[in-house]
Amino acid sequence: MKIEFRNEPLTELECPVLVAFGFETHPASSGTVERLPSATRTLLDELQASGEMTGKPYECTLIHHPAGVAAQKLLVVGAGKKEKFEDAHLRRLSGAAVRYLRARNVHELAWLLGGRDAKAAGIQNVVEGAIVADYDADTLRTERNGERRIERLILAAEGAVDDAARAALERGRIIAEAQTFTRELVNEPANTLTPTKLAQRAGEMAARYGLECQVLGPQEIRDLKMGAFWAVAQGSDEPAKLIVVRYAHREAPPSPVIGLVGKGITFDTGGISIKPAADMHEMKTDMAGGATMLGVMQAIAQLKPKIRVIALVPATENMPGGNAYKPGDVITSMSGKTIEILNTDAEGRLVLADALTYAKQLGCTALIDAATLTGAVTIALGNITTGVFGWNQEWVDRILASAAATGEKMWQLPVDEDYRDLYKSAIADIANTGGRYGGAITAAMFVGEFAGDTPWVHLDIAGTRWSNEDKPYRAKGPTGHGVPTLVHLLTSLGG
Ligand code: BES
Ligand code: MN
Ligand code: ZN
């Protein structure tokens, strides 16, 4: 998608579709609709009076040959209640416009900037929303309607465009494209996206954006004594990979070093504790945490905050097989802690355990992990909200603040000593499951045991990694949820 600013008067701005938004109850006289010439607004007054145009969220009203502007068509998008409006809502409005117009074979649109969306944050949101909306998950369909893409987005500014506005456009493009990279990885089936392939994709991304990438194979994983990661990996014929991607700004202080650890299970059958057949195909997405961290690295490589970041993705399949680990096994993790396996389907916490231990060994002083860790978190929060966990409230608060700024929904769930009893083992240091009740909490706490005293936050994205329905502003399928929040956090840490 080409994106550019234009600042000619609306009476002269030639484009297939000009897009404006208006608020509920008075869409013909609010939002960016206010910037339209009076001849155009007379038309809109009629639509409002007749009740055809209400301004309800994402309502789209398309007008052919609008009076008073050079555009061939005018699209008015409903922005909902004005009192509830926030900058982040602009993403959904531009997204809704993009999806509505794509479906009508439009390839070029002009977004009317005005008021708050003419400021840097607004421009970034409009750009992000448009690119996110221009993605569909059906890339493997042979009769895909590939030409239904938006080729050009014009940002119709009122006056001269300054450097801050140009930077915001670029920033929005970088973040949304990183999110697309994450979504493509999550969407790719497990027969082609093996751990080896995931490592290759990480390597290509790193080479392209000037990051350092190192991939450890089965021998190195065993040599590092990653007994927990290895236990999961040993049941698969596909070689396990530990992907390590590094970013460091030349002027970054020696600390903090942020460790981003992402679960990279390219397919989760459940192992010997095998999953039911019904939804097992969804487990091709069990590397979404890893894909999130790789997307974040792609973005910060371009945004260049003055910090140090190491991303680690322990990648393997979780398979049943002659070599697979078994319920009842006791394994020794890299940290030395022994773990009794009660359920081989609780594999995510095992690969994260060793990856976190290794992250600390590499010098990380603050940790964030993202993982499709538990079905339990989807019971608690649905597909809408990511579960956030951690002992260090300051670190948790930073994530929550970044989530709020980007409009991604995240919610803190508790961690508490009293839950520890649930994953006690009779024969080893800890057990790998804590039962059904509070399953998202005990899973998070298990992972946290390996972070130890290092500030750590865990994001359980099992629900939010995927959307089961089309939304007006985003196609169903992989969401890339978490990328904007983490990029916001890292760039705010590093100016
Ligand atoms: N990858 C799954 C969790 C999951 C479920 C992700 C649904 C996305 C959608 C994870 O490895 C798992 O199987 N967790 C088990 C843990 C249980 C055995 C303690 C679960 O949630 O049932
Ligand atoms: Mn599992
Ligand atoms: Zn899993």
Query: Is residue 495 over pLDDT 80?
Result: no
Distance CA 161, CA 163 (A): 7
User: Among positive and negative, which fits the CA dihedral 302, 303, 308, 309?
Assistant: negative
Whether 115 has a pLDDT exceeding 90, the answer reads no
Q: Which two tokens stand for residue 19?
A: 């897009």
For residue 109, how many other CB atoms are within 10 A of its CB?
26
pLDDT, tens only, 307-343: 999 999 999 999 999 999 999 999 999 999 999 999 9
Ligand 3 geometric centre to CA of 375 (Å): 9
How far apart are the CA of 268 and the centre of ligand 2, in A?
A: 6
Domain 193-464 has CATH 3.40.630.10: yes
Does ligand 1 come within 6 angstroms of the Cβ of 383? no
DSSP string, 455-486: -EEEEE-TTTTEESS-BTTB-SEE--TTHHHH
Pocket probe for ligand 1: among 269, 275, 340, 374, the residue whose CB has the most ligand atoms within 8 Å is 374
Handedness of CA 138, 102, 44, 82 (dihedral sign): positive
Report whether pLDDT(146) > 70: no
Q: CA 243, CA 261: separation in Å to the nearest integer?
A: 10
Peptide bond into 256 cis (omega under 30): yes
Q: Is 317 in the pocket of ligand 1 (CB under 6 A)?
A: no
Alpha-carbon span 70 to 480, nearest angstrom: 37
For the chain, which residues make up each domain, given as ranges? 2-175, 193-464
Position 348 scores a pLDDT of 99
DSSP three-state, residue 313: strand
Nearest to 244 by CA among 228, 221, 222, 272: 221
| Closest listed ligand to the CA of 278 | 1
Which pLDDT value is given to residue 145? 66
The per-residue pLDDT of the chain, averaged, comes to 97
Mark the residues whose beta carbon lies below 5 A from ion ligand 2: 268, 345, 347
User: Are 133 and 99 a contacting pair, CB within 8 Å?
Assistant: yes
Active site residues: 275, 349
Mean pLDDT on 145-162 = 88
Q: Which distant-in-sequence residues (6+ apart) come within 8 Å of 138 by Cβ?
A: 144
Atom 17 in ligand 1: residue holding the nearest Cα? 346
CA distance 359 to 245: 11
Q: In the block, which residue shows the tokens 């006056």? A: 159
Say how far apart CA 335 and CA 174 lie, in whole Å. 37
The reported pLDDT for the residue numbered 283 is 98
- Ligand 3 centroid – CA 318 distance (Å): 8
CA dist., res. 415 & res. 389, Å (int) = 7
Residues 201 and 185 sit within 8 Å (Cβ to Cβ)? yes
- Count Cβ atoms below 10 Å from residue 404 Cβ, excluding itself: 15
Residue minimizing CA distance to atom 22 of ligand 1: 375
Integer Cα distance of 455 and 149 in angstroms: 43
Q: Is the pLDDT of residue 113 over 90?
A: yes
How far away, in angstroms, is 345 Cα from ligand 3 center? 7
Q: Tell me if 2-175 shares its fold with 193-464.
A: no
Q: What percent of the chain has pLDDT over 90?
A: 95
Q: Which residue has tokens 């909306």?
A: 133
pLDDT, position 15? 97
For ligand 1, atom 9, the nearest C-alpha belongs to 462
* pLDDT mean over 189-207: 98
The CA distance from 230 to 222, in Å, is: 7
Say if ligand 1 is within 6 A of residue 268 CB: yes
Q: Is the CB of 232 under 6 A from ligand 1?
A: no
Q: Would you tell me how many other CB atoms lie within 10 Å of the CB of residue 411?
A: 14
Counting ligands in written order, the one closest to the CA of 372 is: 1
Q: Which of 345, 383, 430 to mutate to test the pocket of ligand 1 (most atoms within 8 A of CB)?
A: 345
Is 410 in contact with 385 (CB distance < 8 Å)? yes
Does 433 sit in the ligand 1 pocket, CB within 6 Å?
A: yes
Dist CA 462 CA 480 (whole Å)? 12
DSSP-derived 3-state class of residue 28: helix
SS3 of 367-380: the string is EEEEECCCHHHHHH
Q: Is the CB of 374 under 6 A from ligand 1?
A: yes
Contact 353, 335 (CB under 8 A): yes
343 Cβ inside 6 Å of ligand 1: yes
- C-alpha torsion sign, points 52, 53, 56, 59: positive
For the CA of 343, the nearest ligand: 1
Dist. CA 66–CA 72, nearest whole Å: 7
What's the whole-number mean pLDDT along residues 359-383? 98
- Give the fold, CATH level 3, of 2-175: Leucine Aminopeptidase, subunit E; domain 1 (3.40.220)
How far is 69 from 40, CA to CA, in rounded Å? 7
- CA of 156 relative to ligand 2 center, distance in Å: 48
Does any ligand 1 atom lie closer than 6 A to the CB of residue 375?
yes
Q: Which ligand is nearest to the CA of 266?
A: 3
Atom of ligand 1 nearest to the CA of 347: 11
Contact 149, 107 (CB under 8 A): yes
CB of 188 within 6 A of ligand 1: the answer is no
Read off the pLDDT band of 147 (50, 70, 90). low
Q: What pLDDT was estimated at residue 156? A: 97
Comparing 442 with 118, which gets the higher pLDDT?
A: 442
* 265 Cα to the center of ligand 3, angstroms: 6
Distance, CA 341 to ligand 1 centroid (Å)? 15
At residue 114, what is the residue type?
G
* 420 Cα to the center of ligand 2, angstroms: 21
> Cα(422)–Cα(416) distance, rounded to whole angstroms?
11
Ligand 3 centroid–CA 440 distance in Å is: 13
Query: Does 286 contact ligand 1 (Cβ within 6 A)?
Result: yes
- Confidence label for 31 from pLDDT (cuts 50, 70 and 90): very high
For residue 386, give the H/E element and its range: strand 386-389
- The order of strands in the sheet holding 430-431 is 330-332, 338-340, 430-431
Position in ligand 1 atom list of the atom nearest CA 265 = 1
| CA distance to 12, 182, 262, 309, 345, per residue, from 185 (Å) | 42, 5, 13, 21, 22
125 lines ligand 1 (CB under 6 A): no
Q: Is 346 in the pocket of ligand 1 (CB under 6 A)?
A: yes
Question: Which tokens sit at 365?
Answer: 């002083």
State the DSSP code for 103.
T
Work out which ligand 1 atom sits closest to the CA atom of 285. 8
Q: CA-to-CA distance for 205 and 153, rounded, in angstroms? A: 26
Residue closest via CA to ligand 1's atom 5 equals 375
376 alpha carbon, closest ligand = 1
287 CB within 6 A, ligand 1: no
- Region 44-64: mean pLDDT is 98
CA distances from 408 to 79, 105, 126, 240, 449 (A): 18, 30, 15, 32, 27
